[in-house]
Amino acid sequence: MSEELPAGRACRVSADALAAVSDDLASRTRRSYVAQLRAVEAKLNGEPLTDQSLSAMLAEMAAAERSPSTLALTVSAVRFAARRFDEPDPVGPRCDMVLRTHRRTSSPPRQVAAVDWTAADAASHAAAQRGDMIGLRGAAIIAVMSDALLRVSEAAALDCQDIDRAVDGSGCVTVRHSKTDQQGAGAALFLRRATITRVDRWLEAAAIGDGALFRRIRKGGQVTGDRLSSRSIRSIVAANAATIGIDGASGHSLRIGAAQSLVRSGAQLPEAMLAGRWATPTMLSRYASAELAAQGAVSRLRPDTLEQ
């Protein structure tokens, strides 16, 4: 645990030094922490990093309507770097006060729209009906992400060889690395026959046999060898959800909606956790709170009577 910051002492952390660290953090988290530290360094411009200077920066972020989670991420990055490099923790009473006040006065975050199984099938069908390469790609992306409850980074990382086909026309997609599988143990996830059909139509039209599964398309429908980025996949999901009347969708909407559909269809908590590769029930319980309540003890055990 980092020592409390004595009066007159400053914490010295370096974004460049943290960027070189590879053994403490997942790469995505490290990049996020490094970005936060660079912002802190730029703002302080050589001023010592103390509870007073950091709290002033947090107050400016709050006044600029940055979210409480963004302020908390900045604090987490500073604290992690302080521990990692054996520096005193600069987060003291002033920072804590800014964080508490901002959490109390901020508007609640907007709920991400869910795209459940029914909506995902409708969006995938609508994409395919475009009849062009962009439509075929979008249809395959939506179907795969919905079936396998994929995160956008996982969908972006897929290769053609990650798709396996069964005799009955269904198949599996292998996710080789993920946010919760940094060691690369991998996970094989079920794909329906309809989804395999969507994938195969895209691959055939794009004349792709290996390498990246989902790729950029130039004007005129020319498929490149460039892998789609996570940002592009988020945009594709949001745009196709909007075509069926779902506004506010994000790259996580298919994962959330599939979790809700699983529970709504009768999946028990361990089954749904396995499908979504959640190590704890925390996120699943948040995504499918209404569906879990409908299957809970009260709904099953309390008699539904009305006294006249």
Q: What's the pLDDT band for 278 if we cut at 50, 70, 90?
A: confident
- Predicted confidence (pLDDT) per residue in 155-208, tens digit: 999 999 999 999 999 999 999 876 665 566 678 999 999 999 999 999 999 999
Last residue of a domain, which of 196, 231, 248?
248
Same domain, 73 and 194: no
- Which of 72, 58, 122, 110 is closest to 248 using CA atoms? 110
CB under 8 Å to 46, separation ≥6 — which residues? Answer: none
- Predicted confidence (pLDDT) per residue in 67-77, tens digit: 888 888 888 88
Residue 90 sits in a domain whose CATH number is: 1.10.150
Same domain, 48 and 160: no
Specify if 166 maps to a domain.
yes
Same domain, 121 and 99: no
Last residue of a domain, which of 105, 134, 164?
105
pLDDT of residue 134: 95
Specify if 215 maps to a domain.
yes
SS3 227: strand
Same domain, 64 and 94: yes
Cα atoms found within 13 Å of the Cα of residue 244, Cβ hemisphere only: 22
Last residue of a domain, which of 49, 82, 105?
105
Same domain, 101 and 121: no
Same domain, 36 and 145: no
- Predicted confidence (pLDDT) per residue in 77-113, tens digit: 888 888 877 888 888 899 999 988 988 887 655 567 8
Same domain, 81 and 166: no
Same domain, 93 and 189: no
pLDDT of residue 49: 86
pLDDT of residue 32: 78
Residue 224 sits in a domain whose CATH number is: 1.10.443.10
Same domain, 80 and 31: yes
Same domain, 101 and 124: no
Same domain, 137 and 175: yes
Specify if 160 maps to a domain.
yes
Same domain, 190 and 210: yes
For 206, the domain range is 117-248
Most confident by average pLDDT, 71-75, 192-196, 278-282, 285-289? 192-196
Specify if 1 maps to a domain.
no
Residues 264-289 as b or e (16 or more Cβ within 10 Å = b): beebebeebbebbbbeeeeebbebbe
CB 189 within 8 A of CB 294: no
Q: Which of 196-210, 233-247, 271-285, 293-307 has the lowest mean pLDDT?
A: 293-307
pLDDT of residue 41: 85
Structural domains counted in the chain? 2
Specify if 26 maps to a domain.
yes
Count of C-beta atoms within a 10 Å radius of residue 219: 5
